[in-house]
Amino acid sequence: KVSPRPLVAGNWKMNGVKRSAKTLGEIMEGYTPDLRARVDLLVCPPATLVSTFAVIALGSKVAVGGQDCHPKASGAHTGDVSAEMLTDAGATYVIVGHSERRADHGETDALVRAKAEAARRAGLTAIICVGETREEREAGRALDTVSAQIRGSVPPGSDAADTVIAYEPVWAIGTGLTPTAADVAEMHARIRSDLAALAGEEAAGIRILYGGSVKPANARELLSVPNVDGALVGGASLVAADFLAIAAAY
């Protein structure tokens, strides 16, 4: 079986100002032809920087993405950004349903699915985030929780070009804690079979990223787990050398 081409994506969250273009420049410089041959690289800065970063990254093969989008293309939604606007700004990906948005903004699976559909409509690849809380894992409900999120958040007809899944246990984000390789393997296998039920043969090509405290020191172990097709990286993606070292684990 041929594995999908891996993707290492940086989620900058609410970090970054104009001078952070220096970090993007360092990432572009470190994305050598050798690394380019092995892994796709994506930086998702805050919305204010998407356009600037997309211009800077043009021709470098480093992709630029948004961190969220509204389900509608335009209208009376103060403060929101549409998928079409991200496309216009030069983005090619958008993260949807990150656990911080599910928690801070009460985003439901249905809303996340609508956002993923908006991303497809605008020609973006949606990175759909799922993951259990500590309570859910301790109660033995991690697999069922994530399966329900996949069924509820992934639009029907999703394919390898328009959809990426990011499994991010909420308790592993920004904490330095990570699941065991065996737990990651079990979850990613479950997600692959959930995707097969939704997307049939396309499921084999849909990339399933692991996210949550990925660092240079643990990247190789986490990224070599079966059905792990890349990483969604938060904190470590703000430091070019760390982000590149994670990508170089491939």
Contact by Cβ (8 Å): 178, 172? yes
By CB under 6 A, is residue 62 in contact with ligand PEP? no
Taking the C-alpha atoms of residue 210 and residue 189, their distance in angstroms, rounded to an integer, is 12
Owner of token pair 């081409």: 5
By CB under 6 A, is residue 234 in contact with ligand PEP? yes
Q: Got the DSSP string for 191-211?
A: HHHHHHHHHGGGGGGSEEEEE
Per CB under 6 A, the list member of 199, 214, 219, 228 interacting with ligand PEP is: 214
Owner of token pair 């986490």: 222
Q: Which amino acid, one-letter code, is at 214?
A: V
Among candidate residues 208, 210, 217, the one with its CA nearest the CA of residue 242: 217
By CB under 6 A, is residue 168 in contact with ligand PEP? yes
By CB under 6 A, is residue 107 in contact with ligand PEP? no
By CB under 6 A, is residue 226 in contact with ligand PEP? no
- Nearest to ligand PEP of 191, 232 (CB atom): 232
Taking the C-alpha atoms of residue 28 and residue 36, their distance in angstroms, rounded to an integer, is 10
Residue nearest to ligand PEP (CB): 234
- Nearest to ligand PEP of 7, 232 (CB atom): 232
Cα pseudo-dihedral 45, 50, 53, 55, rounded to 10: 170
- Nearest to ligand PEP of 11, 82 (CB atom): 11
**Catalytic residue of the set 84, 107, 117, 168:** 168
Residues in CB range of 181: below 8 A, 6 or more apart:
221, 222, 225
Token representation of residue 17? 């100002």
By CB under 6 A, is residue 44 in contact with ligand PEP? no
- Nearest to ligand PEP of 83, 219 (CB atom): 219
> Quick check: is 70 catalytic?
no
By CB under 6 A, is residue 67 in contact with ligand PEP? no
Annotated binding site for substrate: 11-13, 174, 213, 234-235
Annotated binding site: 11-13, 174, 213, 234-235
By CB under 6 A, is residue 66 in contact with ligand PEP? no
By CB under 6 A, is residue 179 in contact with ligand PEP? no
Per CB under 6 A, the list member of 213, 227, 242, 249 interacting with ligand PEP is: 213
Per CB under 6 A, the list member of 6, 7, 8, 11 interacting with ligand PEP is: 11
Alpha helix (H) residue ranges in the chain: 21-30, 33-36, 47-57, 83-89, 99-104, 109-121, 134-138, 142-153, 181-199, 216-223, 240-247
> Quick check: is 98 catalytic?
yes
By CB under 6 A, is residue 173 in contact with ligand PEP? yes
Q: Any idea which residues carry the catalytic annotation?
A: 98, 168
Interface ranges with ligand PEP (CB under 6 A): 11, 168, 173-174, 211-214, 232-236
